[in-house]
Chain A
Amino acid sequence: MNAVNEPAVVAATADEVWHLRLYVAGQSPKSLHALVNLKSLCEKHLAGRYEIEIIDLVENPSLARTDDILAIPTLVRRLPVPLRKIIGDLSDTKRVLVGLQIHPDCLS
């Protein structure tokens, strides 16, 4: 049963394009780390079906207010819905996967 059902879920998510938005503040080490970590993670788990948008709040400070950003770096999963927010430099891969709800089955 599992073997039948779970690929179906993965398949459903697999079709979608993941839209991720990373909020950084200038070229700070945390921001750079986060970007590097995010890219490698997406390549590994979401290869070919992800988009990363980087927003530098130093350049667009008003977006901090409109998007309600407090911590830097913040990663927002805009798609698939619902919207999810995680913070930190994304060095803890396991937490990133849980936070973004990338299904553990796609890890294989």
Chain B
Amino acid sequence: MEELPKTPTGISGLDEVTGGGLPQGRPTLVCGPAGCGKTLLAMEFLVRGITQFNEPGVFMAFEESADDLIANVASLGFDLAQSKDDGMLVIDHVKVPGGEMQETGDWDLDGLFLRLGTAVDTIGAKRVVIDTIENLFGAFSNRAVLRSELRRLFGWLKERGVTAVITGERGDGTLTRFGIEEYVSDCVIVLDHRVTEQTSTRRLRILKYRGSLHGTNEYPFLIGESGMSVLPITSPGLRNSASTQRLSTGVARLDAMLGDGGFYKGSTVLVNGTAGTGKSTLAAQFCDATCRRGERALYFAFGESEAEIVRNMSSVGIDLWQWVNAGLLQFRCFRPSVLGLEAHLFAMQKFVDEFDPAAVVMDPVSDLLRIGTGADVSAMLTRQVDFLKAKGVTALFTSLTSDAEPALADQQIASLVDTWILLKTMEGNGEHNRVLYVLKSRGMAHSNQIREFLLTDQGIELADVYVGPQGVLTGSARQAQEAQERSDGTARLEDLEQRRVNLERRRESVEAHTAALWREFEDEADIVGRLLSHGSTGVEDRAGQRAEQGRLRRADTDEYIAHIGELDVGAL
């Protein structure tokens, strides 16, 4: 299948969502309510065309004057006046008459066609924006003629082969107030500006893209200092280089747990845990380690002030003040609610650009959930991660979870982060002890062990936890278990000694016994020996006795008695 030719917009994220850009040589309708960013999208499409693709463009404005437009987008870094002077841009402001004009018979919009045609021809425009043509409906009473003329206009644009963006204001139940979506059917992009829980988020959706695959979701988009950026779910490109350089976490045993030496430079780390598990301390320790190497660290705090953090960290032996004074550490502390998500993002990116740190901490990102939904926050963090990765900045985000289950936002950013460290408290034995483990760490042979996380006077220390038949033991239970093991050992030694003694005694008893047996045996042998030496006498005695008895009883004849005596002797 032949791929539909597309014109890249150059707008960050939009080309990914549309699979390469807008349909080349065809009109695209961009519609949405007032203030949703239609004009900006259209203008950026032209500006990027000029600056990135060397394609001249015509902006036909039915609402704003050329001067207003130039001033409005100057804040986004677009120098329209320069493009105009370079012959790359024509801004034609069409003043639509306030009231309806008297119509005295048949008419057409040839004037408009000629204007547009002239503008396109003058600079050889490849891109055209018409913003917002529906304003014409206020000036002409014969709508039937106007509609057929608009149909002709869009046909004409196609014939000219220019890639056009037509904007339209959302109507009541229709995409545009006067239903011009009927004429522009190749590609329709709907912008929206929704307020959820007092937070406004801009969204973009490709409603229709004839002959092309496209993302169907609603994608949040931001308007920032460098224009518009659409946030596809997966970050655009993913072309970050990967460093193999390791940066110490500031905790020697944690470095060891992460394989060899700590986080990768430019990676993203999520430290996630319930309240009071030491997330900020871990972040501070990381900043401390970064500054110790002579690199800069930038700490965004959403919950505490600079003074509070410095004081709190000094209580566990982390002296951040020295780094602040040395100009290596900067704090930016603010409540999330002071700005919207997009404003935060761009404020933070500006600080990063200015300070050029090696490490950035955001503590805690879960606070951002107060000003946006999970999806919005994760979209914003995606941008932030991409931004930081592109700069090779190592980022550490902390996130507060209310229970053992990771919060929604954590799940959503889980795929963004390279290393995920989980801090938990383990309850039991009337205590609350901190444990740490590495849930995931990309590209590292990380430890699977749970370690007890101790806040000491010298910062963070990791201790082995006792794992035994009673489960995982921490805190005093661990110490008790260790003591128990020690005393158990002693007992075993005593037991062994006892058994040795017993054995010795037994041997003595066995030896005594054996001696007794021998004695018995020897006695017996003696007797038997003596008996053997007197053996014949015994037999003769018995025969003599028997003959004597016979004689005494007179039972037998003397011959018989004599015979018995012979027999007995013969038998012997």
Are B104 and A72 closer than 8 Å at their CB atoms?
no
Are B115 and A88 closer than 8 Å at their CB atoms?
no
- A22-52 vs B, CB cutoff 8 Å, 1 = contact: the mask equals 0101001010011001000000000000000
Q: Which residue of A lies closest to B106 (CB)?
A: A89
Interface hits, A56-95 → B, CB 8 Å? 57-58, 61-62, 64-65, 68-75, 85-92, 95
Are A68 and B94 closer than 8 Å at their CB atoms?
yes
| Distance of B103 from chain A, by nearest CB (Å) | 5
- B468 interface contact, C-beta 8 A: no
Are B109 and A92 closer than 8 Å at their CB atoms?
no
One of A57, A87, A98 near B107 (C-beta < 8 A) = A87
Per the bound structure, the CA–CA distance linking A99 and B99 in Å amounts to 12
Interface residues on B, range: 20 to 34
| Distance of B61 from chain A, by nearest CB (Å) | 12
- A96 interface contact, C-beta 8 A: yes
Are A65 and B118 closer than 8 Å at their CB atoms?
yes
One of B95, B101, B110, B118 near A25 (C-beta < 8 A) = B110
Per the bound structure, the CA–CA distance linking A24 and B171 in Å amounts to 34
Given the known inter-chain contacts A68-B94, A70-B136, A71-B140, please indicate yes or no for A95 contacting B111, CB distance below 8 A: no
Given the known inter-chain contacts A33-B105, A99-B104, please indicate yes or no for A65 contacting B110, CB distance below 8 A: no
One of A65, A87, A89 near B102 (C-beta < 8 A) = A87
Are A86 and B118 closer than 8 Å at their CB atoms?
no
One of B95, B105, B119 near A68 (C-beta < 8 A) = B95
Q: How many Cβ-Cβ contacts under 8 Å join chain A to chain B?
A: 99
Per the bound structure, the CA–CA distance linking A61 and B117 in Å amounts to 9
Are B105 and A25 closer than 8 Å at their CB atoms?
no
One of A64, A91, A95 near B114 (C-beta < 8 A) = A64
One of B95, B108, B114, B119 near A30 (C-beta < 8 A) = B108
Are B103 and A95 closer than 8 Å at their CB atoms?
yes
| Distance of A37 from chain B, by nearest CB (Å) | 8
Residues of A within 8 A of B115 (CB): 61, 64-65, 69-70
Residues of B within 8 A of A92 (CB): 103-105
- B92 interface contact, C-beta 8 A: yes
Are B107 and A64 closer than 8 Å at their CB atoms?
no
Residues of A within 8 A of B101 (CB): 71, 85-87, 99
Per the bound structure, the CA–CA distance linking A23 and B115 in Å amounts to 13
Are B92 and A91 closer than 8 Å at their CB atoms?
no
Are A71 and B105 closer than 8 Å at their CB atoms?
no
Are B94 and A70 closer than 8 Å at their CB atoms?
yes
Given the known inter-chain contacts A28-B110, A64-B111, A70-B112, please indicate yes or no for A95 contacting B118, CB distance below 8 A: no
| Distance of B124 from chain A, by nearest CB (Å) | 16
Q: Which residue of B lies closest to A85 (CB)?
A: B101
Are B102 and A86 closer than 8 Å at their CB atoms?
yes
Interface residues of chain B, those whose CB is within 8 Å of chain A, are 92, 94-97, 101-112, 114-115, 117-119, 136, 139-140
Q: What would be 18 A-B contacts, judged by CB atoms less than 8 Å apart?
A: A25-B114, A34-B105, A57-B114, A64-B118, A65-B115, A65-B119, A69-B111, A71-B110, A86-B104, A87-B101, A87-B140, A88-B102, A88-B104, A88-B105, A89-B104, A90-B105, A91-B105, A95-B103
Closest 5 CB pairs of A and B: A99-B102, A91-B105, A88-B105, A89-B105, A88-B104
